Amino acid sequence: MTSIAANLKVIRDRIQSACSRSGRDPSSVCLIGVTKTVPAHIVRAGVEAGLAVLGENYVQEARAKMEQLSDLPIAWHFIGHLQSNKARLAVESFDWIHTLDRVSLAREVDRQAHRQGKRVPVLLEINVGDEGSKSGAPAQEARSLLDLASSLDGIAVRGLMALPPYEDEPEAVRPYFRRMRELLEELRQAAPRPEELTELSMGMSHDFEVAIEEGATMIRVGTALFGPRLT
C-alpha cells in the first residue's frame, strides 16, 4: 500500500468514528483531497487509492494538473480566493466553487456561467472568525449575499464554507463550526430554494472530526493525506 493509500484509510476510519459519535451516516461527508502544491503524479496516486474529489486553491496550478490527469474521473472544487479576472477560467475548469464571498464576484461568476451555458454550484464563504487577514463575507452579510446570489440563475447556492481561526486544540474551533451550522439553518429559513442549501464545507487535517460532529458535509484535507507541503 502506498503511504497515501494508508493515510486515506486512517482518515476514512476517523470520519467513520466521528460519524458514529454524532449519529451521522459516513456517506453524508464528502472527503475533498486538497492538492495545492502536490505534483500531478502524487495526486494520481491519491486518486488511484480512492480519492474522487479534489480541491485546488490556484486556477493556473489546477489547470496544469487537470490536463495531466484528464484520463481520471475527478470532481474538481475551487477552494482558494477567487479574483474576478479568474472567474472565466474557474467556471470553465471547476465543478464547484467554495469561495463566493462578495456580490461583485457572484455577478461575474454568473456572467461567465451564462456565457458557458452552465449553472455553477457555489458555496458562500463566511469569515466566521471576523479575521482581518482572511477573505469571506462577514456573517452579518450572509443573508444579503444569499439574496443576491439566489437571484442569479447561472449559479446555484448550495451552502456555506468557512476557514475558521487556527487553534492548536481542535476543540477550540468547535464554536465556529457550530456558528456556521446555525447560520446555515437561519439562511435556509429565508432561502427561496432551501432544499438546495444543504452543504457545509468546513474542517481540515487537524480539526475535521470536530467539524463533522458539528455538521460538516464536505471536509477539505491536505497534509493528513499528502504530508506537509513544501512551501
Going by their DSSP bridges, the two strands 155-162 and 199-201 should be labelled as parallel
State the nearest-atom distance from the C-beta of 162 to ligand PLP, in Å: 9
Nearest distance from residue 114's CB to ligand PLP, in Å? 27
24 or 36: CB nearest ligand PLP: 36
Contacts with ligand PLP by CB under 6 A lie at: 34, 36, 57, 79, 163, 204-205, 220-224
- Of the pair 56, 108, the CB lying nearest ligand PLP is at 56
To the nearest whole angstrom, how small is the minimum distance from the Cβ of residue 178 to ligand PLP?
A: 19
Minimum gap (Å) between residue 147 Cβ and ligand PLP: 25
Taking only Cα atoms into account, the Rg of the chain, rounded to an integer number of angstroms, comes to 17
Q: Which is nearer to ligand PLP, 57 or 68 (CB)?
A: 57
Cβ proximity to ligand PLP, 125 vs 154, nearer residue: 125
